[in-house]
A and B are shown apart, each in its own frame.
Chain A
Amino acid sequence: MMDATPRGAVTAGAQLNARARARDLAVGAAAIALATLFGAFVGLPLAALLVRLPIAQLADMMHQTIVLQALRLSFETTCAAALLTVLGGTPLAALLTRDFRGRDAIASLMTLPLVLPPVVAGLGLLLAFGRAGLLGRFLDVFGMHVPFSTAAVVLAQTFVAAPLYINAARSAFSRTDRELLEAAASLRASPVYAFARIAIPPALPALAAGLSLSAARGLGEFGATITFAGNLPGVTQTMPLAAYVAAQSDMDAAVAISVVLACASYGALLAAGALTRSGRQPA
């Protein structure tokens, strides 16, 4: 029998292998440890809310006027904001997929509210729609007072959260094959008809996902709302505001509201994720 490999080389190779494996294991273990720590960091506050949740009194808690009012108001304003977002954001996103000068500047401007400190957003809204504001002074003439009304809550939520929908729509629309829109135009379809029949149907999952995200963001809106709309129970006090107020006097109520909010947002995120995945699958 002939052994082509010298014995020493085999041993050295094996040692090298063992060392490499040990290093891989160490790196893997470190990555898992860091990931676990970070996961715990994010999960712990959420778990703390759940642990603190006064389950026994939960039913009573939810029937408190302040909680009920906030729950209803949040639901209504979030729905209204979503409607405004779809109505205005869809055509805006569609136009932003066309080529024109200054398009990127406008697109960035439309995304700005997303990264602006919410208080700054609220201040801007106040200076625009407030009594002495740019537009508000004219509205005032007609007896319309936007600030510190439920309408202000809707505007604040729309302003802050719409970019999430607009960006999702823009990215979905930009995948439309231009030749298909041209084919539609050659078949007497007006630009709006062509867009509705050709570009929107394949974009629907992405639009729904973007809307879920923006609704979740709107639901949690606090800074712009309290600045522009105030904190009036039943009128402008949404769930986040109610949680903030309750946290100063009634911890049980604050926790109950927070858990409801967190669950609703988590649901919206799960929905967005599922919609995005379904949109990626070939139809």
Chain B
Amino acid sequence: MSLSVDVACDAPFAIDATFEVRRGRTLALVGESGAGKTTVLRLIAGFARPDRGRITNGAEEWFDAAAGIFAAPHRRTIGMTFSRGALFGDMTALENAMFGPRAAGWAADRARARALEALELTGASALRDRRAATLSAGETQRVALARAIALRPHVLLLDEPLSSVDVHARAGLRTALSAAMRATDAATVLVTHDPAEALLMADEIAVLENGRIVQQGSSADLRRAPATPYVAAFAGVNLFTGTARALADGTSEIAVGDAAFVVHGAFTGPVALVVDPDAVTLSREEGATSARNRVHGVVDAIVPDGGAVRVAIASVPPIVARVTAASAAALALAPGVPVYASFKAGEARVS
């Protein structure tokens, strides 16, 4: 059973996307804002009609341009979350989660039981009697997720579930999202512009640029042979996960395995850390820079990337630096050469 999408539109802007997601798997649909990510999601949901193509979910045919088939949104077994939440503000969290089962004609007590189960799964049980309009962005997304999975849809469409959420709440919400995806065993399409979100939660990544999918594959595939500069930048980031502890001077220390990195801002608990390879500098001696974060290891691989080279270092944790060919030559970098890689606290983005 899988969700199979092949859609093309000419207006309001051109879309051409083809992909398949098996149940239990997650595809991240990534791209810059305006690339058409949300539009593709809306086409799958049935809020708009593609000009050409076909959308099927297992044996269910949701759209077929050639056959003139178009299933209305409420006939498609989807669960969807919206970037701004789109909760029903005057209803409580529980009433929001009950909406789907009630709309599907379930009796109130059965709908209630299922809604409570869904809220439990997304860690939103304590919010059940709160009016949705009074919830924070993170709480809103938890309730929205519970609402989306209450009917155990076979297709889960998540539109930027973390973008409006405070970084402090993101790790917890990522855990809730993963739990929800596992529990529903749905084919999930996750729209995001955040590499951390895509790399941590998706099995596969499809990159949209100007409405077209320019590349699709695992994060390793995308890193190995990026089709465009955007793909290279997106998939090529250094991503670390660890546990943060706020320090007294307005910075935080993040324990990543045996290493520890310092970042600006006060963070506590599990976080993801994104460091652009361009922000990583290399040196042969230990004290060459004032950057607070430093790892040591031997060069693992050197790959040309535009006018620069990507240097993968077998440090703990492993890190990738992007340096000019000239400085690579000056440092006499070659596989097996020991180097220090460092980056400033201000260059690391907590997500």
The smallest C-beta distance from B61 to any residue of chain A, in angstroms, reads 18
What does DSSP make chain A's interface, helix, strand, loop or mixed? helix
* Complex contacts, A197 vs chain B, CB 8 Å: 88, 99, 103
A189–B99 CB distance below 8 A: yes
A75 to B209, CA, bound (A): 65
Enumerate A197-223 residues with CB–CB distance to B below 8 Å.
197-198, 201-202
Interface residue stretch chosen among A111-119, A135-143, A154-162, A176-184: A176-184
Q: Is B231 in contact with chain A by the CB < 8 A criterion?
A: no
B202 contacts partner chain A, Cβ-Cβ < 8 Å: no
- Known contacts: A179-B82, A193-B103. The answer to whether A186 contacts B88 by CB under 8 A is no
B82 near A187: Cβ-Cβ < 8 Å = no
* CB of A1 within 8 Å of the partner chain: no
Q: Determine if A185 is an interface residue (Cβ-Cβ < 8 Å).
A: yes
**Distance to closest chain A CB from B257 (angstroms):** 40
State whether the Cβ of A15 lies closer than 8 Å to any Cβ in chain B. no
**B72 CB within 8 Å of chain A:** yes
A193 to B76, CA, bound (A): 16
Cβ B86 vs Cβ A179 within 8 A? yes
Task: Say yes or no: B73 contacts A182, CB within 8 Å.
Answer: yes
Give the chain B neighbours of A193 by CB distance below 8 A.
103
Which residues of the other chain, B, contact A183 by a CB distance below 8 angstroms? 80, 82, 86-88
1/0 per position for B20-47, CB-CB distance to A under 8 A? 0000000000000000000000000111
Cross-interface CB contact of A201 among B73, B74, B90, cutoff 8 Å = B90
Q: How many Å lie between the Cα of A189 and that of B84 in the bound state?
A: 20
Nearest residue, chain A, Cβ from B87:
A183
Q: Is there contact, CB below 8 Å, between A180 and B47? A: no
Is the CB of B189 closer than 8 A to any CB of chain A?
no
Instruction: Give the residues from 74 to 111 in chain B that come closer than 8 angstroms, CB to CB, to chain A.
Output: 74, 76, 78-80, 82, 84, 86-88, 90, 99-100, 103-104
Contact of A187 (CB < 8 Å), options: B72, B90, B103, B157 = B103
**Which of B47, B79, B87, B147 contacts A185, CB < 8 Å?**
B47
B333 within 8 A of A: no
A186–B99 contact, CB under 8 A? no
Residues of A within 8 A of B151 (CB): 187-188
Residues on the A chain within 8 Å of B104, using CB: 188
Q: Is the CB–CB distance between B82 and A190 below 8 Å?
A: no
Residue from the list A182, A185, A188, A198 in contact with B88, Cβ < 8 A: A198
CB-based nearest B residue for A185: B73
Q: Please state if A189 and B88 are interface contacts (CB–CB under 8 Å).
A: no
The residues of A that contact B46 with a CB separation of less than 8 Å are 185
How far does the alpha carbon of A194 sit from the alpha carbon of B72 in the complex, in Å?
13
B84 near A187 with CB under 8 A, answer no
- Any B CB within 8 A of the CB of A12: no
A283 close to chain B: CB less than 8 A: yes
Within 8 A of B (CB), among A245-283: 283
User: What chain B residues lie within 8 Å of A198 (beta carbons)?
Assistant: 88
Whether B90 contacts A186 by the Cβ 8 Å rule is no
- Known contacts A179-B84, A201-B90; A184/B47 CB under 8 A: no
- B8 contacts the other chain (CB 8 A): no
B239 within 8 A of A: no
Residues on A with beta carbons closer than 8 Å to the beta carbon of B90: 201-202, 283
Residues of B within 8 A of A177 (CB): 86
In the complex, what distance in Å separates the CA atom of A179 from the CA atom of B104? 19
Q: Which partner residue on chain B sits nearest A186 by CB separation?
A: B80
Contacts of A191 in B (CB 8 A): 72, 74
A183, A184, A185: which has the most chain B beta carbons within 10 Å? A183
- With A188-B74, A188-B104, A189-B74 known as contacts, the answer to whether A182 contacts B99 (CB < 8 A) is no
Known contacts A198-B88, A201-B90; decide if A185 and B82 are in contact (CB<8 Å). no
With contact pairs A201-B90, A283-B90 given, residues A185 and B84 touching in the complex (Cβ less than 8 Å) = no
Is B148 located at the chain interface by the 8 A CB criterion?
yes
Interface pair A187/B99, CB less than 8 Å apart? yes
Assembly CA distance A189 to B103 (angstroms): 5
From residue A194, how far is it (CB to closest CB) to chain B in Å?
Answer: 8
- Interfacial chain A residues near B79, Cβ < 8 Å: 186-187
Q: Smallest CB–CB gap between A201 and chain B, Å?
A: 7
B86 touches A182 (CB 8 A): yes
Known: A185-B46, A197-B88. 17 other contacts (CB 8 A): A180-B88, A183-B80, A184-B88, A184-B99, A185-B72, A185-B73, A186-B79, A186-B157, A187-B99, A187-B147, A188-B74, A188-B103, A188-B104, A190-B74, A193-B103, A194-B74, A283-B90
Interface pairs (26), CB distance under 8 Å: A177-B86, A179-B84, A180-B88, A182-B47, A182-B73, A182-B86, A184-B88, A185-B74, A186-B73, A186-B74, A186-B79, A186-B157, A187-B79, A187-B103, A188-B74, A188-B100, A189-B99, A189-B103, A190-B74, A190-B103, A191-B72, A193-B103, A194-B74, A197-B99, A198-B88, A202-B90
9 closest cross-chain pairs (CB), A and B? A187-B100, A185-B73, A189-B103, A186-B80, A183-B86, A188-B104, A188-B103, A179-B86, A185-B74
